[in-house]
Amino acid sequence: MLTLVLADCEVEVEAENIDSVRSKPEVVHFPLLLSQDSGLAEERELRTILHTRDGKIFQFESDAYIPDSLEKFKKLLIEATKGNTTPEGVRVFEKGLIETLDEQFGKKIVMTPKGGKEDPTDIFSRAEDYVVVIGGFRKGDFESPVYEWAEKQVSISDRLMKPWSVTAEILVGYRYCSFE
């Protein structure tokens, strides 16, 4: 099982809207579309967690539907936050990222250009579970203490990659790694 965590996402979900000045929901929308439409989601081998910088945790099970439209995606986040009609397969919490990560099972990895370089297929074994943290921001670094939490820091490129590119590499790397 792979738990994919988009951490420190630049999305601030308020009562009736998403803050348009400080939020960049498109940065996490595409990685969520990739993950929820992946072979791992179809195999029920994936859980995706979105952590926002304003302290909200959105947990998406493998069967959660992510709308293609960015506007509908923003409405999904707002509705889920309200708690009135939480979409199937989506849960919302207000707790710390590290507390949430500690509740997950598996080897703890953070993806960062500062880590040791590895090919995505060499990082994983399907015989084990993993919790992989990816930055959900356009530039900069993690604000949360994920480096201290992680057992391993990994880089898959010499260049800084976008969250959706890292997501795609991790999904494919885990799906096609060995079962040893």
- pLDDT tens-digit readout, 115-162: 999 999 899 998 899 999 999 998 889 999 999 999 999 999 988 899
Domain boundaries, the chain: 2-175
- pLDDT tens-digit readout, 62-95: 999 999 999 999 888 888 888 766 678 898 988 8
- 2-175 carries CATH number 3.40.1280.10: yes
Q: Provide CB contacts within 8 A for 168, sequence distance 6+.
A: 34
pLDDT at 178 over 80: no
Task: Give the per-residue pLDDT at 85.
Answer: 63
Contact by Cβ (8 Å): 134, 167 = yes
Q: Provide CB contacts within 8 A for 94, sequence distance 6+.
A: 55, 56, 57
